[in-house]
Chains A and B, each alone.
Chain A
Amino acid sequence: MLAIGILIKIFVVANVLMGAVAYLIWVERKIAAYSQDRIGPNRCGGEFGVPAGLLQPLADGAKMMLKEGVVPAYVNKPLYILAPVIAIIAALLGFAVVPFGPVGPDQMLDFQIAPYLDIGIVWVFAVGSLAVYGVVLAGWASNNKYSFIGGLRSSAQLISYEIPLGLSILGIVLVAGSLDLNAIIKWQDQHVWGIVVSPLGFLIFLVSGFAETNRLPFDLPEAEQELVGGFHTEYSGMKFGMFFLGEYVHVITVSALTVILFGGGWDLPFLPLSYDQTGVVPAIAKLTIFSGKVACVIVFMMWIRWTLPRFRYDQLMDLAWKSLIPLALLNLAATAIILQIIRG
């Protein structure tokens, strides 16, 4: 019975996530258009009275599904097919430990696919780094110079930003005293948001998060203009779609982590929501607040995308190794010293 319940939960969450991804693409296209003084998709669905092109994601999805999946003759076929699978599986696995609502033994429902995982945040980073294998393998298997350079860049990018990404959260982890994401939310609910105790960590996490999700200004592996799509040059149809889904799920995961670690999770200062509350109304309120915050972070990421130009390869390395890592270490050391003084 329990197993069936978990399966149903996974099914619902995975599908809601995919729907969210589809509409994120619509949001992204709209924001892209607006920042360039255009209108964006506004036709699809007009025949049925649906405004603002809101059916566009359905059309996009149907197009992806129906398109011929061309496999070029010169690719390394097993790896070529494996790469998008890794990309999407890693992204979905990473989301498994993200609590998107209240979680606890007293709650009627755990809003997390895999609750009570003490190493929560470490799992997200471990699996999130696996997603890079999808990109690197795609670049290698495509047997194509552009894709290969894209894959190379991705691996170079990985060793640059993973360290500051991991270091940046240690401050808030020290303060909250746990790696469990729910415990971190609980601490923020009882005290203050993580962005207050660790503003530098927030900044470093955000910057590294852009690199982690391959989004502008760090979309070096993709780089449409110079690498013709980079690692996914040779991909078409749903294989390309899986890279896309994986990338956007990753964006959702990183945005959710930003909210959980630094934005108080479902906590709002002026609302009487607390960790111990059970029942339907607080659960729905927490879910809504959390989703709203995540949406804000995602919109911010898209906003950044249309503001900043792409970093050069060496600039990214420079930024990560010479600025972010020392700053993250400084943040960690300062947090540790202050904690030692305060808590004795």
Chain B
Amino acid sequence: MQADDPNLKLIRPLEMSLADRLFLPAIVVGLGVTARHIAGVMFGGKAITVQYPEEQHITSANYRGVHRLNRDHEGRVKCVACMLCATACPAHCIDIVGATAPETWPDREKYPESFVIDELRCIYCGMCEEACPVEAIELTGLYDLTGLSREEMIFDKAKLLSVFDATRNQEPMRYGKPPVDPGSLHTTALPSQGPGPA
């Protein structure tokens, strides 16, 4: 490319006027911006702060927090122990032990005997949710996940199902019918409860 190429466009930096070089007008404008924000918080109540323990932050609809294991309309765990989430998990934090489904469950071959997620290992990427073919595992908007020990943070099937029970009203399942009656949950076969498999 030649220096006198007609396609070349020479761009010079903008000339600074005297007012620009004094910087004072710009500083006054800047002070105005700051003053607007200060006045907005002081008199307009425009602070974005959430007074946390008293007020709860409302997460966006696609926030990825603690997992839950969904129940189907009969209150059974939806999971069919296909291992797709455990395979998709980049952090290898899902551990599933599958078992043959009881004969009273004609709609599936297997169900998870044990379903354990290490919430400390999880990176909350949501790939388990995407991989699941039956929408059994979902990430909820719960963000205040704390525990006193590492063991406490390893969630088993019962705990993951209880997360569903706690969030089923705030965050309805995106697909599929919800369990008919929460009160009747404990009468139907519950996972890891009662004699028969859940």
Contacts and interface: CB of A to CB of B under 8 A. Distances in A.
A35 B33 CA distance: 9
A36 B38 CA distance: 8
Interface residues of A, number: 13
B142 interface: no
Contacts of A34: 37-38, 41-42, 47
A38 B38 CA distance: 9
Contacts of B38: 31, 34-35, 303
Interface string A33-45: 1111111000000
B31 interface: yes
- Give chain B's interface secondary structure class: helix
A307 B47 contact: no
A39 B27 contact: no
A308 interface: yes
B60 interface: no
Nearest to A304: B31
Nearest to A203: B24
Given A33-B41, A307-B27, A308-B27, A38 B48 contact: yes
Given A37-B48, A38-B48, A38-B49, A307 B31 contact: yes
Looking at A33, A34, A36, which has the most chain B CB atoms within 10 Å of its CB?
Answer: A34
Nearest to B45: A39
A306 interface: yes
A306 B47 contact: no
Contacts of A307: 27, 30-31, 33-34
Contacts of B27: 304, 307-308
B34 to A, nearest CB: 5
B46 interface: yes
Interface in B30-87: 30-31, 33-35, 37-38, 40-42, 46-49, 51
A304 to B, nearest CB: 7
B70 to A, nearest CB: 38
B49 A308 contact: no
A121 to B, nearest CB: 26
A35 B47 contact: no
B30 A37 contact: no
A38 B41 CA distance: 7
Nearest to B39: A34
Interface string A19-53: 00000000000010111111100000000000000
A306 B36 CA distance: 12
Contacts, number: 41
Q: Interface extent on B, as a size class?
A: 10 to 19
Interface in B140-189: none
B46 A306 contact: no
B198 to A, nearest CB: 46
Interface string B7-28: 0000000000000000000010
A201 B198 CA distance: 85
A148 B27 CA distance: 31
Contact of A37 (B31, B35, B40, B51): B40
A37 B46 contact: yes
A218 to B, nearest CB: 14
B124 to A, nearest CB: 26
A183 to B, nearest CB: 31
A37 B34 contact: no
Contacts of A304: 27, 31
A103 B30 CA distance: 39
A34 B31 CA distance: 13
B34 A39 contact: no
B49 A35 contact: no
Nearest to B50: A39
A210 B31 CA distance: 16
Contacts of B31: 303-304, 307
A297 to B, nearest CB: 14
B54 to A, nearest CB: 11
Contacts of B42: 34
Looking at A33, A303, A307, A308, which has the most chain B CB atoms within 10 Å of its CB?
Answer: A307
Interface in A306-322: 306-308
B53 to A, nearest CB: 10
Looking at B34, B40, B42, B51, which has the most chain A CB atoms within 10 Å of its CB?
Answer: B34
Given A33-B41, A38-B49, 5 more contacts: A33-B47, A37-B40, A303-B34, A307-B30, A307-B33
Interface of A: 31, 33-39, 303-304, 306-308
Top 5 closest pairs, chain A to chain B, by CB: A34-B38, A34-B41, A307-B30, A39-B49, A307-B34
